[in-house]
Amino acid sequence: MRQVSERALDAASAAGASYADCRVVNRTVQKITVKNGAVAAVELFEDEGVGIRVIVEGAWGFAAVDRLDGVSVEAAARHAVQIARASSRVNRIAVRLAPAPPLVGVYRTPVTRDPFTVSLDDKVSLLMRTDEAMSHQPQVRIRECSLEFVREERHFASSEGARLDQTIIESGGGLDATATSDDEVQTRSFPNSFGRHQVCAGWEAIDAFDLPGNAGRIAEEAVALLSAPVCPAGTMTVILDATQAALQVHESCGHPTELDRVLGHEAAYAGTSFLTPDLLGTFRYGSEHVTMTADSTRAPGLGTFGWDDEGVAAQRSVLVDQGIFTGYLSSRETAAAIGQVSNGTMRADGWARLPIIRMTNVNLEPGTSSLEEMIATTERGVYLETNRSWSIDDRRLNFQFGTQNGWEIVNGKRTRLVRNPIYSGQTPEFWRSCDAVAGPDEWLMLGVVNCGKGQPSQSMHVGHGAAPCRFRDVRVEPAR
């Protein structure tokens, strides 16, 4: 990898680049899916290539190629320079980078058991036991469970002298039980929806999920939802489970604190942000119970690493401090635009994509309450579990979420199961109405494995630590 990057940097400099960096990435992905009692797919993916980023005459250029021979790498470096030069003829403003020390080091995800050393037979066996545990509910017509493992070797080198090597390992798994009747379809998922829960960890994470041990209960819940009453409508108290709280954090805090969105870099696609720089340090984003951080040092989140993809060290930043908006996710270029230094959130979806600002582990810090206490002190409301749908506007204000499960709360008691709940609101009003967050004992490191952003599109794995939390006066209704 080092030979490739040295050759790329030399070629870029010789062609006229004033700055260049190079990422050589080798990614291996293993996916196993069992559906309705049969192995639906066992897929092994390998992916290797190099991405070269340059600044020439004040403009960016980037070229990537999957051929690591010297001729191809040098041609890619020269192509990146050609691209940058073409852009420089249109542009009027030169790129400026905030300073960052050129670092040298090695990082590896800490794992107890490397998932790639576990046999495929053992992995299939686990999924078949999970499937069997769901199979006792005839109304569950679609049973699907899966495992996914990722190993990514990353080498980063820059013309400023950075030389960084990382090995990131991810383990994920999950199950979906879909029950159908003549007029209804209901899906329940575990540990999270949309296929799986994934973390930067080894096989020990899969053991901890206990998919077979939870599969029967989840299948029963899917069937129960078919005949459950629809969710009541009205303005009421909402308690979110940790998985739904994590997605709420993702959409309404993670994305709007991305500084490239704030500066308009994503205006034509992902959108902008309501958290403009004039609000930094003074804007009341949430109640005093709400503290949110970006922490790429916090294992086992999917945003845990040694350095970001422009060589800035992993770190913890406070985005919202006891309700006050205090920080952004930034890069060297965007940080310079507001007189700061990068806090290390540039990430690329593999070698073929340009690093852009992405969430690392954006966390709702634990509070002092508990789910039990929150329910006991709620007169009328709903407890909502596991995301089913999500949507938010391009400035990240107007949101609507649906969840798989709802539990009606009456006079401090969790009463009946309700189906098709959705809730909606405006981001600051919603977080200002937060009056309780559960403590460290109920705080989980969760994540999102399909966060889309950028053109060409990039899909990123990001982490979110969250705990159950309570909100007052929220609009709730059933999906009709």
Partner 1 sequence: MSRDDELLAAGDAALARLERGDAELVIVDDTSELTRFAGNEIHQSVAERSRYVRVRLIDDNRVGVGEVRGFGEAAVERALHAAEESRRVGTGSGVSPLPAPDHRAGGPVAFAPATAAATPEQRAGLVSIVTGAARAHDVNAYGALSTGTRTTAIVTTAGVRRAATATQASVVSVARGDDGGGYASRHSADVDALDVDGLATEVVDTCERNQGATAIDPGDYEVVLSPYAVTDLLEHLAWVGFSALATQEHRSFMRMDERLMSELVTIRDDATALDVFPFPFDAEGVSTQALRLIDHGVCAGVVYDTPTALRDGVSSTGHSLPQPNTRGPLPRHVVMDAGTTPWKDMVSSVSRGLYVTRFWYVRDVHPLRTVITGMTREGTFLIENGRITRPVKDLRFTQSIVGALDGVVDVSRERRLELGEGESGVLAPWLRINRFTFSS
Told to check if 422 binds partner 1 by CB under 8 A, we report yes
Question: Which residues in 446-465 contact partner 1 (CB under 8 A)?
Answer: 455-456
126 vs 444, beta carbon nearer partner 1? 126
**Phi-psi map region of 414: left, alpha, beta (phi>0 left; psi -120 to 50 alpha):** beta
Please identify which residue in 14, 233, 267, 376 interacts with partner 1, judged by CB under 8 A.
267
Task: State yes or no: residue 393 binds partner 1 (CB under 8 A).
Answer: yes
Candidate residues 9, 64, 239, 467; the one interacting with partner 1 per rule CB under 8 A: 64
Q: Which two tokens stand for residue 338?
A: 């507001």
The stretch among 15-23, 97-105, 369-377, 393-401 that binds partner 1 (CB under 8 A) is: 393-401
DSSP per residue, 191-204:
SSSTT-EEESS-HH
Q: Which of these ranges, 119-127, 203-211, 238-246, 300-308, lies near partner 1 under the rule CB under 8 A?
A: 119-127
Neighbours of 377 (CB within 10 A): 13
Q: How far is residue 423's CA from residue 200's CA, in Å, rounded to a whole number? A: 31
C-alpha distances out from residue 363 to 76, 328, 348, 373, Å: 38, 13, 21, 22
21 neighbors 156 (Cβ within 8 angstroms): yes
Indicate the pairing of strand 140-158 with strand 19-35. Answer: antiparallel
Q: Does 271 bind partner 1 (CB under 8 A)?
A: yes
* Residue 390 is a binding residue for partner 1 (CB under 8 A): yes
Shortest CB 88 distance to partner 1, Å: 8
User: C-beta of 325: minimal distance to partner 1 in Å?
Assistant: 22
Check residue 71 for interaction with partner 1 (CB under 8 A): no
Q: What stretch of H or E contains 6?
A: helix 2-15
Segment 294 to 353, residues that bind partner 1, using CB under 8 A: 352-353
- Among 65, 77, 199, 215, which residue sits at the site for partner 1 (rule: CB under 8 A)? 65
Pick one of 6, 13, 16, 40: the residue that binds partner 1 (CB under 8 A): 40
Question: Cα-flanking dihedrals φ and ψ of residue 432, to 5°?
Answer: -70, -20
Q: Is 116 in the site for partner 1 (CB under 8 A)?
A: no
Residues numbered 198 to 257 that lie near partner 1 (CB under 8 A) are none
**Binders of partner 1 in range 80-99 (CB under 8 A):** 80, 82-84, 86-87, 89-93
Helices (H), 143-292: 203-209, 211-227, 242-249, 259-262
